[in-house]
Amino acid sequence: MDFQLSEEQRMIREMVRDFAENEIMPIASEIDREGRFPFETFKKMGDLGIMGLPWPEEYGGAGADTVCYAIAVEEISRACGSHGISYAAHISLGSSPIYLFGSEEQKRKYLTPLARGEAIGALGLTEPEAGSDAGSTKTTAVLDGNEWVINGAKSLITNGPLAETVITVAKTDPSAPGSHGISTLIVETDRPGFSVGKEEDKFGLRGSPTSQLFYEECRIPKENLLGKEGEGFGQILEVLDGGRISIGAMALGLGQAALEASVKYAKERHQFGRPIADFQAVQWMIADAATRLEAARLLVYKSAYLEDQGKKFTKEAAMGKLFASEAAELACFNAMQIYAGYGYTKDYPVERFYRDNRLTQIGEGTSEIQRLVIARQVLGAR
């Protein structure tokens, strides 16, 4: 067993950390306050070559492994949760379905601009009536000659207002029961009949836009179907497995930011004539957060490693996301406790870490759904 990162993985961490500390961290508080998507840093992330980090170079990517990608999400999220989620959604949700299930032509046409950072991607899965029960999608796509005609609505879609392409989950066989008869399609957002609805006014991740999407007689070419008709639900489960690694990594970054802030403040802040880091109560809060984050990191990296080995990682990805989101929750909670009154104000970033991290227990399957996935893997189908 080798717990060392490879030379490439260490280099990616160093490069992304350097970029995130210089370009992202300084604007994190401002974009949160203004609710503004940072186009300027995403353009620079494209120039840095990380917008398609895990995809092959022939499609504009960097050909890095999943561990490298998890490290990149972690480092970006350590600097800013809004950047972290928009980046993770762009790669894991908006691009990976094309990489995993797309034809050669679809990869050249749609994956390449996404990987180069010339376009931003999104995934339209969640609907007003279909959240955790993603298989009950109501959006339909009906073939009419050489075109699919899509009707329906999606909600809570990350990058929804700015994506050039949205991987859209729709029922292509309305007569099929449950999650059968579902397909995934690449929708270019300049198609007539596609529109962006209300942008959500969120608790956290306020620099990452989340919105409703509407499809009204939206016509797309027949060849924009991903993979085979009717295989969409299975595809989405695979996409979500990968996505969970990225949300786990996002929690690691936010938890790490909270821990580092706690350590710094505990050494600076004096009460009763000594730094508060001298009090055992404060030391224990830091020790608990550090221990859980370290364990979470091992789980998240292990799930990424398994994906790189071509092994099944459904259980480990769900465990990693569940555990990391809760480890980060504790790190953020303890950070606010250590900063106390000042942590409760917007003068310090710990309240933002706390708000931003809350999503990691909700998006890409709630913690209850992660437990359900893990239990199914441990107990077997019941």
Binding site for ligand FAD (CB under 6 A): 89, 93, 122-126, 131-132, 156-158, 202, 205, 210, 359, 362-366, 368-369, 372
Q: Which of 74, 127, 326, 364 is catalytic?
A: 364
Residue 205 or 338: the one with the smaller Cβ distance to ligand FAD is: 205
- Shortest Å distance, C-beta 51 to ligand FAD: 16
Which lies closer to ligand FAD via its Cβ, residue 67 or residue 250? 250
Q: Using CA atoms, how far apart are residues 76 and 54, in angstroms rounded to an integer?
A: 16
Q: Which is nearer to ligand FAD, 156 or 220 (CB)?
A: 156
Shortest reach from residue 359's CB to ligand FAD, in Å: 5
Residue 151 or 366 with smaller CB distance to ligand FAD:
366
Helix H, strand E, coil C: the string for the chain is CCCCCCHHHHHHHHHHHHHHHHHHHHHHHHHHHHCCCCHHHHHHHHHHCCCCCCCCHHHCCCCCCHHHHHHHHHHHHHHCHHHHHHHHHHHHHHHHHHHHHCCHHHHHHHHHHHHHCCCCEEEECCECCECCCHHHCCCEEEEECCEEEEEEEEEEEECCCCCCEEEEEEECCCCCCCCCCEEEEEEECCCCCEEEEEECCCCCCCCCCEEEEEEEEEEEEHHHEECCCCEHHHHHHHHHHHHHHHHHHHHHHHHHHHHHHHHHHHHHCEECCEEHHHCHHHHHHHHHHHHHHHHHHHHHHHHHHHHHCCCCCHHHHHHHHHHHHHHHHHHHHHHHHHHHHHHHCCCCCHHHHHHHHHHHHCCCCCHHHHHHHHHHHHHCCC
Determine the Cα–Cα distance for residues 132 and 101; give it in Å rounded to an integer.
Answer: 23
Nearer to ligand FAD, 213 or 304 (CB): 213
Residue closer to ligand FAD by CB (options 169, 331) is 169
Q: How far is the CB of 245 from ligand FAD (least distance, A)?
A: 15
Residue nearest to ligand FAD (CB): 131
Minimum CB separation of residue 233 from ligand FAD in Å reads 13
Q: Enter the tokens of residue 133.
A: 């029960």
Least CB distance to ligand FAD at residue 153 (A): 12
- Closest approach of Cβ 369 to ligand FAD, in Å? 6
Q: Which of these, 33, 65, 111, lies nearest to 308 by C-alpha position? A: 65
231: annotated active-site residue: no
Closest CB to ligand FAD among 181 and 365?
365
- The residue assigned the tokens 């608990």 is 288
Smallest separation, CB 335 to ligand FAD (Å): 21
Task: List residues with catalytic annotation.
Answer: 364
